[in-house]
Amino acid sequence: MANPISSIPLQERIPGRNTLQRVLDLIIFFLLLLFLFYLLLSFNVHGVAWKLAFFCESWFTFCWILTMNARWTPVDYTTYPERLLQWAGDELPPVDMFVTTTDAVLEPPIITVNTVLSLLAVDYPAHKLACYVSDDGASPLTFYSLVEAAKFAKLWVPFCKRYEVQARAPFMYFSTEPTKTNSHFSSSDFQREWKKIKTRVSGVMTNSPFMFNVDCDMFANNPKIVLMAMCHVLGFEKESESGFVLYPQKFYGISKDD
């Protein structure tokens, strides 16, 4: 599906400034060429070791050029989810969210539950989302936990959207107390619901054209993550220009030396 309104781009490609790095790369490239030229001049004078050094340095230079080429023109992308909503409205494509887990001991069900809840609460039309959990270990405990998570989602998802919660994995959100910077902090309704949702914290088959795949110990730390991905997927004039969107991982709970 392509964007028919070219005057309203869904994403923008922003070239990065890399002048200093380019100058350094050119200097290194010039020195490498000089070194190779020096080795080549004495190619038949010295023995096998000299020839081997020439071929090794040639291969190193080739690999370095490939690496330099990849970072020569860094770019960043800015997405416009609000434009996507304005353009597509209720015609947004359905998205299947696929969560994988395998061991209820190494990957406790509570982690999988938090991941699922954070995905169910993203800013996207609820009737266009379907979440699947693939448990290779076929754990009854994981199954029971997901059944309970589905019940809790009826409370959690409206709470997130009503009070504009950003970190929509319950364990991450409730790891800190609400601050006064929250626009709903002084609301008595918010205080009451916040406490109620926290003592409490302890499907339709589809064939969607897009799939959002995460591991069981991940969670969506931005509620607009699906909308942003759709800006990339739908924001090009030709479908062949965008095949998939890859988000970087931000790790939590790691040791100080990791």
Domain match, 93 and 146 both: yes
Alpha carbons 116 and 219: distance in angstroms, whole number: 8
Query: Percentage of residues in the chain with pLDDT exceeding 90?
Result: 7
CA torsion 32-36-37-41 (nearest 10°) is 160
Domain match, 54 and 126 both: no
Alpha carbons 104 and 62: distance in angstroms, whole number: 47
Provide the β-strand partners of residue 78.
12
What is residue 62's predicted lDDT score, i.e. its pLDDT?
92
Domain match, 59 and 99 both: no
Tell me which of 11-20, 70-79, 146-155, 200-209 is least confident. Answer: 200-209
179 pLDDT higher than 90: no
What is residue 60's predicted lDDT score, i.e. its pLDDT?
92
Per-residue pLDDT of 23-59, as tens digits, reads 999 999 999 999 989 888 887 777 788 888 889 999 9
Tell me if 251 is assigned to some domain.
no
Per-residue pLDDT of 194-239, as tens digits, reads 877 777 665 334 557 788 888 877 777 788 888 888 888 888 777 6
Bigger pLDDT: 123 vs 256: 123
Question: Which pLDDT band holds residue 6 (cuts at 50, 70, 90)?
Answer: very low
Tell me if 253 is assigned to some domain.
no
Tell me if 123 is assigned to some domain.
yes
Alpha carbons 180 and 207: distance in angstroms, whole number: 43
Domain match, 30 and 86 both: no
Average pLDDT over residues 130-136: 88
**Which of the 8 DSSP states describes residue 240?**
G
89 pLDDT higher than 80: no
Tell me if 67 is assigned to some domain.
yes
Alpha carbons 148 and 117: distance in angstroms, whole number: 11
Per-residue pLDDT of 104-123, as tens digits, reads 888 888 888 888 998 888 88
Alpha carbons 201 and 211: distance in angstroms, whole number: 28
What is residue 181's predicted lDDT score, i.e. its pLDDT?
59
26 conformational bin, left if phi > 0, alpha if psi -120 to 50, beta if neither: alpha
183 pLDDT higher than 60: yes
Q: How many domains does the structure of the chain reveal?
A: 2
What is residue 204's predicted lDDT score, i.e. its pLDDT?
37
Domain match, 183 and 119 both: yes
Tell me if 12 is assigned to some domain.
no
| Domain span at 38 | 17-73
Q: Tell the burial category of 87 from Cβ atoms under 10 Å away from its Cβ (0-12, 13-18, 19+).
A: middle
Q: What is the pTM of this model?
A: 0.58
What is residue 5's predicted lDDT score, i.e. its pLDDT?
45
What is residue 59's predicted lDDT score, i.e. its pLDDT?
93
Average pLDDT over residues 86-115: 85
Query: What mean pLDDT is reported for the chain?
Result: 81
Tell me if 128 is assigned to some domain.
yes
